[in-house]
């Protein structure tokens, strides 16, 4: 094998790539941050944090559904004609006076 020939260059690239893969495999196995091609670090995913985020997400979705229902009621009240609202208020007053008598 000639130093500087294409086979030597391919061998050096293969050894470097293999070393990088082995390095990242060992890091992943032991929980260390992984390196990308440019030397940056990628933190390992924390499963406990993921579960906490999923639980929080579910709770927020329930709250959103609750508030969506409330907004629908408020929209119905606001868009109702004032005549209908006034009639309903008078009907409630009439039932209150009948109950008190």
Tracing tokens 């995913």 back to the chain, one arrives at 45
Report residue 61's pLDDT band, with 50, 70 and 90 as the boundaries. very high
Among candidate residues 87, 71, 90, the one with its CA nearest the CA of residue 79: 71
Per-residue tokens: 54: 């999923």
Model pLDDT, residue 28: 80
Predicted model pTM: 0.36
Among the residues of the chain, which ranges form H helices?
Answer: 6-30, 47-79, 82-100
User: What is the average pLDDT value for the chain, to the nearest integer?
Assistant: 81
Identify which has the larger pLDDT, 63 or 44.
Answer: 63
Torsion of CA 51, 57, 62, 67, to 10 degrees: 160
């Amino acid at each position: 094998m000639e130093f500087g020939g294409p086979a030597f260059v391919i061998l050096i690239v293969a050894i470097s790539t293999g070393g990088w893969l082995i390095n990242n495999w060992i890091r992943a196995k032991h929980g260390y941050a992984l390196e990308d091609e440019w030397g940056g670090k990628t933190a390992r995913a924390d499963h406990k944090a993921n579960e906490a985020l999923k639980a929080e997400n579910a709770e927020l979705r329930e709250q959103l559904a609750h508030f969506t229902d409330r907004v629908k009621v408020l929209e119905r009240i606001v868009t109702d004609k004032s005549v209908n609202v006034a009639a309903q208020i008078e009907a409630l007053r009439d039932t209150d006076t009948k109950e008190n008598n």
